[in-house]
Amino acid sequence: MSEPSDILLQIASDRAVRIRQNGATGGFRLPNSRRLPLVPFANKHGNGILIAELKRRSPSKGAIASIPKPAALAAAYKKAGFRRLSVLTEETKFAGSLSDLVEVKSAHPELAVLRKDFLLNLEDVEVSCLAGADAILLIAALLDTNLLESMFFRAKELGMDCLIEVHTAADVEKVRNLRPPLVGINSRNLRSFQVDPLLPIAIRTFIDWPCDVIYESGIRAAEDALFVRGSGFSGFLVGEALSRAPELGSELLDAWANESEARRRYGPWERLFRGYQEGTPLVKICGITRLKDAEIATDLGADMIGFVMAESPRRAEIDLIRQCAQLEVCKTAVVVLDADESLPQPLAELLTEGVLNFIQFHGDERAETVTNWPGYKAIRLQNESDLEELNRYPGPTILIDAFDAEARGGTGKLLPSKLLRDAAQKRSFWLAGGLNPENVGQIVKKYGPGLVDTSSGVEEVIGRKNYSKIRQFIAAAKDKSG
């Protein structure tokens, strides 16, 4: 067995002990041959691979739902429109069992059912088939390459599909020879169980064979389903939110069906990660006021450039953004809006045309204003109470910046270390404020932001960039040593 991360290893080790004590069935009696029909799990039928999960508890959230009658919850999912179900059968951390799988499949033989567990050997594959699973989850980080391949091919011989879950570039490399047609990417960190909504997009860049990629974990509302659809996934798996509130199912499916709106709001996220390097943050060079600065920042490896469209000594012109349209870098406009203010029409037009990719909302905007456009919210942190704002805004990420009473961004102020540490414990984030070539490397290693944003830290004078500083900043941010 390879070396998976801590929580995963603990769960798998505990299960291995139970198998030695009680066998692969945990003492549950199964027939000698499969009695339930096999239903193809990987067939999209034109509208995506959408999976509703029965989930009682988890290591990170504790108790989620009692689910006294699994078949009844499955019926609610079916009524909402789901045709694929995932049944968690792990006993200790997730309070599942093989009996749940048998009950659900027996009551709803027409549905395609995935056994989700920490499967460890070929006997687990056989047991899953006898219990009625149409597909099984295989976690790449948990299995060595030979065992993973043996389990994959045995499942195929038995007529079952496999959802192979990956979480890192190394996981993708491990399964590349298999070229599995169905891959899941978990947005939940297997070490800390913290969710990073952008991680599946990043890891997907390493998959270089045709397949359907399923977004796992972190779907709580219709807006999340829009994000997943808009950013190019083949489907999603949702457990906690649906187990708590089955009525949410129809909202998620309706959102998924609205492909044009999903692509309008969330299509640019896929582009942002084209040059992704695992273990390093994205880099944004903000406060661009000259075409030459934009060109050099792009050539030096910036992932995003920013144009300030609010009152500022670094304010850019609309014409400059148009001049940068052909640069192979993502472009964001920084706006400062009042709560009742709409996005200015010229910027809306640039987004529609694809000249501009994102909006950075740095004012008092309402949540619905932020989610109506491709973009993200910037939040200025002044004290501990401001940390409550981190989860107020929907969307795949937020950018945190230092508070200044006189200006919103571009102040050169660095956030206090305690606020950064506490923010990192609450959610994944992007970071701005006081970053420069001298401090960015250490901050990246210590707090792990998904993107680092600098403006004054790489300037010659206000509004003009120093190209040597840009080069040093990007190199320091993306340095994997130490």
- DSSP structure class, residue 180: -
Instruction: Say if residue 299 is exposed, middle or buried (CB neighbours under 10 Å; 0-12, 13-18, 19+).
Output: middle
- DSSP structure class, residue 341: P
Other beta carbons within 10 Å of 445: 12
Q: State yes or no: pLDDT of 5 exceeds 80.
A: no
Residue 214, helix vs strand vs coil: strand
* pLDDT score at 384: 83
**In angstroms, how far apart are the furthest CA atoms of the chain?**
77
- What are 380-434's pLDDT values in tens digits? 888 887 888 788 887 899 999 876 655 555 556 788 888 888 888 888 899 999 9
- DSSP structure class, residue 457: G
Q: State yes or no: pLDDT of 316 exceeds 60.
A: yes
Q: State yes or no: pLDDT of 59 exceeds 90.
A: no
Quick one: pLDDT band at residue 275, thresholds 50, 70, 90? confident
Quick one: pLDDT band at residue 63, thresholds 50, 70, 90? confident
**Contacts with 31 (C-beta within 8 Å, 6 or more apart), sequence order:** 130
Is the torsion defined by CA of 170, 174, 180, 186 positive or negative? negative
- What are 136-193's pLDDT values in tens digits? 999 999 999 999 999 999 999 999 999 999 999 999 999 999 999 999 999 987 766 7
Q: Where are the beta strands (DSSP E) in 110-181?
A: 112-116, 135-139, 161-166
Chain position carrying tokens 């064979």: 209
Which range, of 103-107, 245-249, 385-389, averages the lowest pLDDT? Answer: 385-389
The span from the CA of 181 to the CA of 302, in Å, is: 33
Quote the radius of gyration of the chain (alpha carbons, Å).
24
Quick one: pLDDT band at residue 482, thresholds 50, 70, 90? low
Chain position carrying tokens 């995932």: 86
The per-residue DSSP string of 248-260 comes to HHHHHHHHHH-HH
CB 89 within 8 A of CB 49: no
The span from the CA of 449 to the CA of 481, in Å, is: 17
The span from the CA of 412 to the CA of 436, in Å, is: 9
Which range, of 22-31, 68-77, 274-283, averages the lowest pLDDT? Answer: 22-31
Task: State what percent of residues in the chain have pLDDT above 90.
Answer: 75
Quick one: pLDDT band at residue 257, thresholds 50, 70, 90? very high
The span from the CA of 402 to the CA of 171, in Å, is: 37
* pLDDT score at 409: 53
Is the torsion defined by CA of 105, 107, 108, 110 positive or negative? positive
**62-63 and 84-88: which strand pairing?**
unpaired
Select from 445, 430, 429 the least CA-distant residue to 477: 445
- What are 277-311's pLDDT values in tens digits? 999 999 999 999 999 999 999 999 999 999 999 98
**62-63 and 57-58: which strand pairing?**
antiparallel
The span from the CA of 140 to the CA of 167, in Å, is: 8
The span from the CA of 265 to the CA of 261, in Å, is: 6
Task: State what percent of residues in the chain have pLDDT above 70.
Answer: 95
* pLDDT score at 127: 96
Which amino acid is present at 67? Answer: I
* pLDDT score at 345: 96
Question: What pTM did the predictor assign?
Answer: 0.93
What structural domains does the chain harbor? 6-269 (3.20.20.70), 279-477 (3.20.20.70)
* pLDDT score at 147: 97
The span from the CA of 100 to the CA of 88, in Å, is: 8
* pLDDT score at 403: 61
* pLDDT score at 209: 96
- What are 183-227's pLDDT values in tens digits? 999 998 776 678 899 999 999 999 999 999 999 999 999 999 999
* pLDDT score at 1: 41
Task: Supply the mean pLDDT for the chain.
Answer: 92
**62-63 and 182-186: which strand pairing?**
unpaired
- What are 317-368's pLDDT values in tens digits? 999 999 999 999 999 999 999 999 999 999 999 999 999 999 999 999 999 9
CB 334 within 8 A of CB 285: no
